[in-house]
Amino acid sequence: MEHSYDKWGTIMSKSETEVGSNPSPSNLPWYNRLDVVSVTFLVFLLAVISSIGALEGSGRDLDYLANLSRFLDKFLPPDVSVLDRTLEALLETFQIAVMATFLALGISLPLALGAAHNLAPSWMVALTRMALNVIRTIPSLLWALLTVVIVGSNSLAGVIALTFYSVGYLGKFFSEAFESTDMKITHALRGIGAKPLQAFQYGLWPQVKPLIWSHSLWMLEYNVRSASIIGYVGAGGIGMHLALYADSPNSWDKFCTVLLCILVVVTFLDMLGESIRLRIKKRTGGKSAVKV
């Protein structure tokens, strides 16, 4: 029978051997007791401490408070005389968002097929995903600046900008939805002689359709918010009114009216979209879109 010995040559019992081979966490060095969560928290804490300097003022804090008071006097109450034109601009903003989402939906579906590992060859997946990553990297405001330079300051620039921006996200979302499907049904349909389009229509599409609509609805909500901002650089919609009133020191009450209208519309669309997504989630047994 084999025995274990300590450093003085004394025979160790079985319990002592187990304790020696499996030391308790309290006996481990401090660096061995750190896990990923602890290290991440420490790094974040150090980053926060090193960023405290960004909160330091210039010694004119009282001046800032006085400026805030003067700003609020001009900002409130809102000027409802511009409500009619504001609602018209909001309608244009909504139209920009709807058209951009619709166009992006049509472009993203074929791109997503080429970006799904279970539907396309590796070289096509790599190229398509690289293109989607590049598109997604460019912010919507930068897309708006580029399109305003090309097509001018109008709502078409907003539609084109948000279409490109939405393709980057919807292409990614849709490809992940296709990759999450069960391909057995599609392969079975192909095995009995179904054409590729028929196999997609009856085998693949029913599985991804709830996710497609859920992601598209989220993108529409996002585009309504984005369309309100890109108009600030001339891409149409309510953002152009924001820019007009912001540049006039005596129009902050009008700016407040526009801001409140945007807040009401965006909040309503968020609540409506969340309600529809919950219904989709219940019908699909818990499978729903993931927002980023």
The tens place of each residue's pLDDT in the chain, 292 residues long, gives 555 555 455 555 555 555 455 555 555 555 555 566 667 777 788 887 777 666 665 555 555 666 667 767 667 777 777 788 888 888 888 899 999 999 999 999 999 988 888 888 889 999 999 999 999 899 888 999 999 899 888 889 899 999 999 999 999 999 988 888 878 888 888 788 778 787 878 888 888 888 888 888 889 888 988 888 888 887 788 888 887 777 777 777 888 888 888 888 888 888 887 887 787 777 766 554 444 4
Q: Half-sphere exposure of residue 251, counting CA atoms within 13 Å on the CB side?
A: 14
Does the pTM of the predicted model rise above 0.75?
no
Are residues 209 and 99 part of one domain? yes
Domain closes at, from 37, 55, 73: 55
Q: Structural domain tally of the chain?
A: 2
With respect to residue 233, please indicate whether it lies within any of the assigned structural domains.
yes
Are residues 270 and 206 part of one domain? yes
Are residues 47 and 87 part of one domain? no
Q: Token pair for residue 286?
A: 């818990």
With respect to residue 163, please indicate whether it lies within any of the assigned structural domains.
yes
> Residue 240: exposed, middle, or buried by beta-carbon count in 10 A (0-12, 13-18, 19+)?
buried
Are residues 159 and 99 part of one domain? yes
| DSSP-assigned letters across all residues of 159-202 | HHHHHHHHHHHHHHHHHHHHHTS-THHHHHHHHTT--HHHHIII
> Residue 90: exposed, middle, or buried by beta-carbon count in 10 A (0-12, 13-18, 19+)?
buried
Are residues 104 and 42 part of one domain? no
What is the maximum alpha-carbon separation in the chain?
Answer: 97
Are residues 127 and 41 part of one domain? no
Q: Are 208 and 113 in contact (CB under 8 A)?
A: no
With respect to residue 27, please indicate whether it lies within any of the assigned structural domains.
yes
With respect to residue 222, please indicate whether it lies within any of the assigned structural domains.
yes
Give bridge partners of residue 11 from the DSSP assignment.
5
Are residues 145 and 37 part of one domain? no
Rounded CA separation 63/237 (Å):
35
With respect to residue 288, please indicate whether it lies within any of the assigned structural domains.
no
What was the pLDDT predicted at 21? 52
What was the pLDDT predicted at 126? 92
Nearest to 237 by CA among 248, 250, 223: 223
What was the pLDDT predicted at 108? 92
Q: Are 163 and 130 in contact (CB under 8 A)?
A: no
Are residues 123 and 193 part of one domain? yes
The domain containing residue 30 runs over which residues? Answer: 4-55
